[in-house]
């Protein structure tokens, strides 16, 4: 069965950095898309970043405007893992971060085939 397992969340101060990891098992997503979404208390789940296969060697990346200058998504296909490097964290980044994946095609909240259980990121001021 396919599973996505997130790790790396925690409690940090504003301006600090965190690196989230999402390890997939049961299916390869090297030709598909993997990414991150987040949900803060009382708010809708929102897109954060995604990495999508475009050619045999190129992966296109996409970011929400609110994180583009601070977050970087990357992947290791040999490990079937996607990462999210988060720098200059702000209190408004506080949320549960969810990993998601799709075998083929673009990744959105509605199109995602699989979801992880989420990892809590809390940024104090």
CA dist., res. 74 & res. 115, Å (int): 18
> Tokens at residue 85, please?
């490097």
CB 38 within 8 A of CB 115: no
Question: Could you write out the DSSP letters of every residue in 2-24?
Answer: -EEEEE--EEEETT--EEEEEEE
pLDDT of 54 higher than 90:
no
Average pLDDT over residues 100-112: 94
Which pLDDT value is given to residue 56?
A: 75
Band (109; pLDDT cuts 50, 70, 90): very high
pLDDT digit string, tens, across residues 30-53: 999 999 999 999 999 999 999 998
pLDDT at 124 over 90: yes
Is the separation of the CB atoms in 18 and 41 below 8 Å?
Answer: no
Q: In 3D, which of 103, 91, 125, 110 has the Cα closest to residue 37?
A: 110
pLDDT single digits (tens) 1-32: 999 999 999 999 999 999 999 999 999 999 99
């Amino acid at each position: 069965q396919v599973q996505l397992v997130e790790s790396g969340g925690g409690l940090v101060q504003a301006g600090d950095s965190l690196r989230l990891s999402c390890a997939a098992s049961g299916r390869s997503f090297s030709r598909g898309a993997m990414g991150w979404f987040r949900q803060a208390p009382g708010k809708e789940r929102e897109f954060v970043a995604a990495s999508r296969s475009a050619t045999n060697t190129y992966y296109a990346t996409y970011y929400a405007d609110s994180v583009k200058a601070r977050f970087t998504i990357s992947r290791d296909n040999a490990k079937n893992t996607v990462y999210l490097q988060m720098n200059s964290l702000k209190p408004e980044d506080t949320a549960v971060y969810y990993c998601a994946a799709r075998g083929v095609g673009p990744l959105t909240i509605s199109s995602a085939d699989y979801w992880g259980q989420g990892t809590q990121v809390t940024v104090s001021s």
